[in-house]
Structure 1
Amino acid sequence: MARQKKPSGSDRRPGYESDIRRRSGVREPRDRLLVVCGAAVTEPAYLKGLRDYIANPAVTVKVAVKAAAPNQVVEYAKQLRNQDRNAFDEVWCVVDVDQFQDLQVARTSAKDVGIRLAISNPCFEVWLLLHVADHKAHCGSYGELEPYLKRHIPHYDKTRIRFADYAAGLADARIRAHRLDPSGLEYTKNPTTNVWQLVNRLTDGAKSQLRAQPRSTTT
């Protein structure tokens, strides 16, 4: 039996080289993201749960914590990135408006060094609530949001976040948050959150069911 000739030049079929990569065990490079959270428990628990749930082969995500005011979170993210300039392709900080007075300073500092911010007003719990309800009412603090969360998630506890409680509503949260702030820049509006932009980045190319349409639940 004649030996088959290897495809070469114009004989190569589309995708031949990628097939070779798969057979030889060579993987396409992943985007490497660093996400620094400005709270000790809620945000990192959610984001680690999201990362593990999505298991996006195109992205690797390191979640770090700096429970501090926004500008301190940004400074800490700078330090982590500067330890190895080649370790990350993109850096995000997850912060709240809350009662902090240094958010504009943090935004300027982050912009100057190419760090992106995921900001929630008044707090990250707005993003959590949007998984289960279309909330548009002004919220003065976390204390005002907690009853809404417990209405939909009776066992809700900010110190014990389970991503499984939010997984089914992820597509809804993205769409509802986008409606509150399509630009992702209006952090002074209450309520608003551009965490959807970070989530879009983490889930890019993953699980098509995440694009499902939102449900009509309201608070």
Structure 2
Amino acid sequence: MIPILHEPNTASHPLHIFSEAKQALKNCENYFQDIDHLCIIADRDLHSFIEPQYDELAKNCTDERILLCIANPCFELWLLMHYSDLTEYDQTILLENKKSGDRTQTELYLKDKLGGSYSKIRLQFNQRYKDRISTALVNAKKYATSIQELKGTIGTNGGFLVEELQKD
């Protein structure tokens, strides 16, 4: 594993992560493109990750043979899919994912499914998600999974990464 440490003030914008990953690989003696895999996982976030940037990242990742995993609108959608097929929610509201206080709408839905608590810092993967991975994989396939579809539609292709990891 090659840790990617963000430079000050770059936040977590996917194009910055791509640049940082490329730089980290240049300095890595143990990365072999033919056998190793690099994956960038990013939220679609319509507000700060605009369409031309999305297209640029998708092209860059394809050109560099980097797997791009997108969750639209956010990673919490993938977590929510462990508990729901999303049919109980208004798709427009999910996609807009507006904030209410310090939480996005998707975070609020997830918090409700988890009995009132959700922390980005402490996911409690083994307790809350591990035994529900197969449910999330089934639910994810009901929505957009291609990079082009994910540009403007609810979904995630993160399930493909999970399936790939399960093979090894």
- Superposition TM-score, scaled by structure 2 size: 0.76
Is residue 2:126 matched to residue 1:159? Answer: no
How far the C-alpha of 1:199 sits from its partner, in A, is 0.9
How far the C-alpha of 1:127 sits from its partner, in A, is 0.3
Is residue 2:79 matched to residue 1:79? Answer: no
Q: Secondary structure of the equivalent of 2:38?
A: strand
Instruction: For 1:78, give the aligned amino acid.
Output: K
Is residue 2:125 matched to residue 1:178? Answer: no
CA distance in 1, matches of 2:81, 2:136: 5
How far the C-alpha of 1:194 sits from its partner, in A, is 0.6
**2:76 aligned to which of 112, 125, 129:** 125
CA distance in 2, matches of 1:65, 1:178: 32
Question: Contact conserved, 2:111 with 2:118, CA < 8 A, in 1?
Answer: yes
Instruction: State the percentage of identical aligned residues.
Output: 30
Q: Secondary structure of the equivalent of 2:120?
A: coil
CA deviation map 1:179-211 (0-9, x unaligned): 213546521243211110111121115xxxxxx
CA distance in 1, matches of 2:38, 2:161: 10
CA distance in 2, matches of 1:85, 1:112: 21
CA deviation map 1:45-76 (0-9, x unaligned): xxxxxxxxxxxxxxxx5564544211111111
CA distance in 2, matches of 1:121, 1:176: 14
Q: Secondary structure of the equivalent of 2:78?
A: helix
Q: Over the residues paired in the alignment, what is the CA RMSD in angstroms?
A: 2.1
- Superposition TM-score, scaled by structure 1 size: 0.60
Aligned residues: 145
**1:112 aligned to which of 50, 53, 63:** 63
Gaps of 5+ in 2: none
Structure with greater Cα Rg? 1
Question: Contact conserved, 1:131 with 1:173, CA < 8 A, in 2?
Answer: yes
Please name the residue that 2:166 is paired with.
Answer: 203
How far the C-alpha of 1:110 sits from its partner, in A, is 1.2
Instruction: For 1:127, give the aligned amino acid.
Output: W
Instruction: For 2:165, give the aligned amino acid.
Output: L
CA distance in 2, matches of 1:162, 1:83: 33
* Residues 199 and 65 of structure 1: CA distance in aligned 2, closer, same or farther (over 3 Å): farther
Any runs of at least 4 consecutive aligned residues in structure 1 with deviations exceeding 6 A, and if so which? none
Q: Secondary structure of the equivalent of 1:90?
A: coil
